[in-house]
Chain A
Amino acid sequence: MSSISDYYWHAPIYEPPDFEKREFGIMNIGEKPKRHKAFSSVQKLRTFLIETAPHNVFFSSSKYTDPAAYPMEDKRKCWEGADLVFDIDYDHLEKPTLKEARKQADKLLVILKDQLGFKDLLFVDSGRRGYHIHVHDSCVQKLDTSERREIADFLGHYTVRRGRKVINPNWVGIDIPITTDIVRMIRLPGTLNIKKDWMGTCAIINRC
C-alpha cells in the first residue's frame, strides 16, 4: 500500500453539492489525465482513490445529467449548470509571492460578498501556488461563458469611467479562463497536490 493510498483512507475529501452529477479526473506525473469518471457517493470515490493512488485529483465545476459522458460534445449536451470558480496563482501576480496571492484572495472574497452579494462561498488553499474560490449560489449556475466574462472583467485591470480608461479599484489577479470556462476541472479539496518536487494538500480554508 502506498502512502498516497494511506492518505485517502482518512482524508477529508470534499463532497461538492450534487456530487453524483460531477465529473472526476485524476492525473499522475508524466501521464495523460484520466477524465470522465463519475461516482454515486464519496465512499465510492474514496475507494477509487485508495486503489489508484493518484498524484492529483480534479472535479468539474459543472454538473451534468451524465457526468461520465464522452466525447465533450455529448457532455455539453447534458450540461446542467456550473459553479463560478476563481483561481489566484502567485506566479501570475505582479508581486509573485504566496502572501500576495492570499491578500488578493481576501480582497476577492470581500468583493464577492459585499458587491456581488454571494452567500455560498468555498475558500480553498490549492496546496501549492495559490487559492481557489468556488461560488455555489444558484444565481450563477446557468451563466454562460460571455456572462462569466463580464464578471471576470468586473475584476479586470482596467475599466472605463466617464469615457476614460482608469485602473479598476476591484482589480484582482485572477486566472481569467478558469472563471469563464463552463466545463472546467478544478482540484478537489481534501486531496493531495503532488508534483515532481512537491507534495501539498488542497484544503478548505473556510466556507463563508
Chain B
Amino acid sequence: MDIIDFANIPCTSGAREYLKDSSAGSVDICTDIAYEGIRSAAKGRILEALQNGTLKYRRYNEPAANKELLAYPVARIIVSSINNTYLTKRYALAVAKLAYEHIMSFRADALGDLAADFGIGVTVDARTMNATIHFTDYIHHAHVLHEPKWKLSSRTVKGGMLTISKGDFARLMEEVVRKKVEFGLPHEVPKEIKEALKQYINDVQEAASIRTNRQGFSKEGFSEVSSGCFPPCISSAIADVQANVNLSHSMRFAMTTFLLNIGMKPEKIMEIFRASPDFKEQDTNYQINHIAGASGTAYTCPTCATMTTNGNCPGKEVCKKIVHPLVYYRRKVCLENKKQTKKVIS
C-alpha cells in the first residue's frame, strides 16, 4: 500500500506508521503556521462529512495525499474536542464510505493486503475478484448490515468458508474502517492543543449543533402515547391480546418493554393484558413492574433482529429500513408532529 491508499484509508497500520515517521509532530500540525492548510483541510473534511454524510473521492497526487493523511489526526482531535456522538458517528461513516470507493479500485493482491492488515484472511480470485473468507469473520462485520442478503442464512457456506463478490467484500471492509475510525473517539485532548485549534473547533461545533438540533427528537413526543404510531409488531400483538389470543412469552416481553419505553403507565398496560386468556392480575402486575425496573434493571424493547429471531416480526414492508421498534415509533411520531405543525401553519 502507498501514500495514496493511506490518504483514502487512514486507519491502516501502514498509515499509522507513515504518520509516526512523518517529520511533522502532532503539536506542530496543530500550532505551526506552516500547517494552516492542513488544519483547514481537517475542518473541511468534518464539515463535508456533516453536510453530505460522505467525503468526495478525490484522485490525489503524492503531495496532496500526504496533506490529506496529515489532516486525519487533526480531524480526530477536533472531533474529540467536541465530543458529540452524532458528529463522531457521522464523521467515521463518511471516512468509511470514502474508503469503500477506494477499495473498489483495488486489484486482488491489494484487497488481500488490506484485509490482512485488518486481521482478516481472504483469498481473492484474480479473474472474478470474488473474495473467500471464514464465516466467523463474515458475521463479525456483516451482522450489523440489515439487508436480507447479509444474513449468514442467505449465503452458501462450505467447510466454514464463504465466497462473496468484490462489492460485498468492499462493503464489509467499509464496516471495518467505520469501526476503526470510531474506535478510541473521543480521545483526550491536551488543553494547549484545544486552545490552538479553538477557531476550527468552534466552527465545527456550530455546524454540528445546527444539524443535531434539526435531527434531534424532543422527548415530549413520548409524553403522550400515540397508539396510531405503533410499529406493526406491537399493533398486531395488542390486537391479538384483545382478540383473546395468547401471546408467546417473548412477544409479551417485547410489547411490555415497548409500551413502558414510550411512557405508558404500568396500570394502562395491565388493562391491555386483562383480555389475555391466561390473565392473572398478581403475576402480570409483578412482571410489568419487574420489567419497568423494580429490581434495579429497566429493560429496553428488543431490536428488530431479536424480534425476527424469536418469530415476532410480522415482516411488513413498511419497516424495511427500521432496526428497532422504538425507532419506528419515534419517526412516526416525528412525522405526525410535523404534519400537525403544517396544518396549524396553513
Measuring CB to CB, which residues of chain A are less than 8 angstroms from any residue of chain B?
114-118, 139-140, 143, 146-147, 149-154, 156-157, 159-161, 163, 165, 168, 170, 176, 180
Residue numbers in A under 8 Å from B64 (CB-CB): none
Q: 1/0 contact trace for B124-167 toward A, CB 8 Å?
A: 00000000001110011011100011011110011111000000
- Check A160/B151 contact, CB under 8 A, given A152-B309, A165-B315, A176-B310: yes
- Report, nearest first, the 3 A-B pairs whose CB atoms are least far apart: A117-B160, A160-B148, A117-B159
Complex Cα–Cα for A153 and B149 (A): 13
- Check A147/B136 contact, CB under 8 A, given A114-B159, A117-B161, A156-B309: yes
- Check A161/B134 contact, CB under 8 A, given A146-B305, A147-B143, A149-B306: no
Q: 1/0 contact trace for B305-327 toward A, CB 8 Å?
A: 11011110001000000000000
Residue numbers in A under 8 Å from B140 (CB-CB): 143, 147
Complex: chain A residue closest to B144, CB-CB: A146
Closest-CB distance, B77 to chain A (whole angstroms): 31
Complex Cα–Cα for A157 and B313 (A): 13
Contact in complex: B157, A115 (CB < 8 Å):
yes
Closest-CB distance, A206 to chain B (whole angstroms): 21
Complex Cα–Cα for A155 and B308 (A): 13
Complex Cα–Cα for A122 and B294 (A): 40
Contact in complex: A139, B159 (CB < 8 Å):
no
Residue numbers in A under 8 Å from B309 (CB-CB): 149, 152-153, 156, 176, 180
Contact in complex: B139, A147 (CB < 8 Å):
yes
Complex Cα–Cα for A156 and B159 (A): 19
Residue numbers in B under 8 Å from A152 (CB-CB): 309
Residue numbers in B under 8 Å from A117 (CB-CB): 135, 157-161
Complex Cα–Cα for A157 and B309 (A): 10
Complex Cα–Cα for A140 and B139 (A): 11
Complex Cα–Cα for A7 and B309 (A): 40
Complex Cα–Cα for A171 and B245 (A): 27
Residue numbers in A under 8 Å from B160 (CB-CB): 115-118, 139
Complex Cα–Cα for A139 and B148 (A): 24
Complex Cα–Cα for A165 and B306 (A): 18
